[in-house]
Structure 1
Amino acid sequence: MAKDVSNPGKRETDMPETTHGGRVYRPLADIVETGDGVQLMLEMPGVSRDDLDVTLEKRVLTIRGKVHPTAPDKLDLVHAEYGEGDYERSFSMSQDFDPDKIEASLSNGILTLTLPRAEAAKPKKIAVRAA
């Protein structure tokens, strides 16, 4: 199973700042168990496919997304409730997953990662013979 290892117990406002002075947010995630493995869906509004970095190293799946700040043309911002910033989240992975078959897609600000189980980790059906 996937276990979240990115800054447990911290709020988005407690996250460290990046080298360019912006905030780093922990994207919200849904984890769904499927018949073949696990699917992770992370909210990453404002991140394009070219600004995504998904890596798996030593059983730690790390997702990073860069957001390019937007500013209204010819307007002075008086009040802001939407916080812009980059995204980062890590998950500790069990050995049940096949790292060569992980797939990722991005649509409408949602990053979907499909993590198929390794053949050795899939349940085996055992035939029962009559005695």
Structure 2
Amino acid sequence: MAPNSLTERNDEMNVQTREETRSNERFIRPAVNIIETEEGLFVTADLPGATKENIDVNVEKGVLTISAPAAHSVPGNAVYREFELGSYFRQFTIPDSLDHGKAKADFANGILTLRIPKAEIAKPRRIDVQVS
């Protein structure tokens, strides 16, 4: 089976396709699921600690970028901590056959859900054969 450029894992190929960031700030790569259907892409990303107002999702030059700051919302001083929240950052190259203008994003319970439909021209369609 030929590799799918959308879902092929870069770490398996040992290829870095995009520079992550030059910032001194540390970023967390959120866990992401990408499912491709005949209608388009369905993307879910785990962003615990992020808020709907601070999530930034955009597409520029074929690159989908998801970023969001996360903060502890528990009052008081931490006595012991085994994990630390930070800013989330993840990028993916997505095909031009998607209609970015009709994309929809929802955020609930720490999970970002994106639906990016395929452009009408990219959807498979049946052509009826006429008898002459």
TM range (shorter): 0.7 to 0.9
TM-score (norm 1): 0.77
Query: What SS is found at the alignment partner of 1:50?
Result: helix
SS in 2 for 1:67: coil
Q: CA RMSD for the aligned pairs?
A: 2.9
- Deviations along 1:61-114, one digit per CA (max 9) or x if unpaired, are 1010111234551x5523x22221110001111111001101111010000010
Higher relative contact order (CA 8 A, sep 6+): 1
Q: Using a 3 Å threshold, how does the CA distance of structure 1 residues 124 and 16 change in structure 2: closer, same or farther? A: closer
Residue 65 of structure 2 corresponds to which residue in structure 1?
62
> In percent, how many aligned pairs have the same letter?
34
Look up the SS of the partner of 2:48 in the other structure: coil
- Aligned-partner SS, 1:100: helix
What are the Cα deviations for residues 32-75 of structure 1, in whole angstroms up to 9, with x where unaligned? 123311100000001001111111111111010111234551x5
Q: 1:44 & 1:109 partners in 2: Cα distance?
A: 5
Which stretches of structure 1, 4 residues or longer, exceed 4 Å deviation after superposition?
Answer: 15-19
Structure 2 length normalisation: TM-score?
0.76
Q: Which stretches in structure 1 are left out of the alignment for 5+ residues?
A: 10-14
Q: Higher strand fraction: Structure 1 or Structure 2?
A: 1
2 CA distance for matches of 1:16 and 1:99? 24
Distance 1:83 1:18, change over 3 A: farther
1:126 Cα deviation (Å)? 1.9
Letter of the structure 1 residue corresponding to residue 48 of structure 2? P
Q: Does 1:45 align with 2:48?
A: yes
SS in 1 for 2:101: helix
Count of aligned pairs: 121
